[in-house]
């Protein structure tokens, strides 16, 4: 069965600190996608990144970086030099690839608060 665990319910840091959000997943499939989404206070979810299970290269996009490690079934998200605008709930998600209709499941989310 598929499962996504985000053990950190809430994180609070001071602006400009680096912060890492953890995501651990479970699946028996060898082919799958992993995702991160951001939900700002407005409530609408915003897609951040998709990673294919065959691509273990880490990715950096500005202040955001993602560390995918199949050996530990983790897909962690790091924000460098955090800003108040980064305050949001962040969700990790998992789906299978290659099927016409993928079931996409989410973790319980991590609420990130950046204090000025």
Partner 1 sequence: SQTIHQWPATLVQPVGSPLSLECTVEGTSNPNLYWYRQAAGRGLQLLFYSVGIGQISSEVPQNLSASRPQDRQFILSSKKLLLSDSGFYLCAWSHRGSGAGANVLTFGAGSRLTVL
- β pairing state of 10-14 and 110-115: parallel
**With respect to partner 1, which residue has the nearer C-beta, 83 or 113?**
113
Question: How far is it, in rounded angstroms, from Cα 92 to Cα 5?
Answer: 8
CB 79 within 8 A of CB 9: no
Q: Find the shortest distance in angstroms from Cβ 112 to partner 1.
A: 14
> Would strands 46-52 and 32-39 be described as parallel, antiparallel, or unpaired?
antiparallel
Phi and psi for 70 in degrees, rounded to 5? -65, -30
**Residues engaged in binding partner 1 (CB under 8 A):** 6, 33, 35, 37, 43-45, 47, 50, 91, 93, 95, 97-98, 100-109
CB of 81 to partner 1, least distance (A): 27
Give 28 or 44: the residue with its C-beta nearer to partner 1: 44
* Alpha-carbon 38 to chain mean position: 8
- Nearest-approach distance from CB 99 to partner 1, in angstroms: 9
Smallest distance from partner 1 to CB 4, Å: 9
């Amino acid at each position: 069965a598929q499962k996504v665990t985000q053990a950190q319910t809430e994180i609070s840091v001071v602006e400009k600190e680096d912060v890492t959000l953890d995501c651990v997943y479970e699946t028996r499939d060898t082919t799958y996608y992993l995702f991160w989404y951001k939900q700002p206070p407005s409530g609408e979810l915003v897609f951040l990144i998709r990673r294919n299970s065959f691509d273990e290269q880490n990715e950096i996009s500005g202040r955001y970086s993602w560390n995918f490690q199949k050996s530990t079934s983790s897909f962690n998200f790091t924000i460098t030099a955090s800003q108040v605008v980064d305050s949001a709930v962040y969700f990790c998600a998992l789906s299978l690839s290659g099927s016409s209709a993928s079931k996409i499941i989410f973790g319980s989310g991590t609420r990130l608060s950046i204090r000025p």
